[in-house]
Amino acid sequence: MLEIRTSCENCQKPLPYDSPEAMICTFECTFCKDCVDQIFKNVCPNCGGGLEKRPIRPKSLLAKYPVSAEVVYKPINEAEFTMKQERLIDIPLGER
C-alpha cells in the first residue's frame, strides 16, 4: 500500500492526499513539485532515483486506507546533495 505523506520532506509544504504538487520516488520519498523541479532536477536526494507525480488516493478509500500520520522532515544538505546530483543527473534513470 502506497504511503501517502502529507508534506514535502525538504520544505514541509503541505501535500494533502489529493495534491497535484506531490512527487514521489520508488521508495515513497515525498517532495513538492517546486523542490523537485527547482532544486533536485529530478534526482531524489535520498536514493538518487527519479521522482514522479504521486497518484491520488480515491476519497472514498481514505477511511479504510488513511494517509500517513508520520511527518518526515529531512531538508537537504546543499553541499552534499550538489555532489550527488552532479554525479547522477546525466545518467538515465534506469542506469543510476
% of the chain residues with pLDDT over 70: 100
C-alpha cell at position 87: 554525479
pTM given for the model: 0.92
C-alpha cell at position 94: 534506469
Q: How far apart are CA 29 and CA 46, in angstroms?
A: 8
State which amino acid sits at residue 27.
Answer: F
Dump pLDDT digits (tens) for 7-36. Answer: 999 999 999 999 999 999 999 999 999 999
Residue-wise DSSP of 36-91: IIIIITT--TTTS---EEPPPPPGGGTTTSPPP---------HHHHHHHHHHHTTS
The SS3 of residue 17 is coil
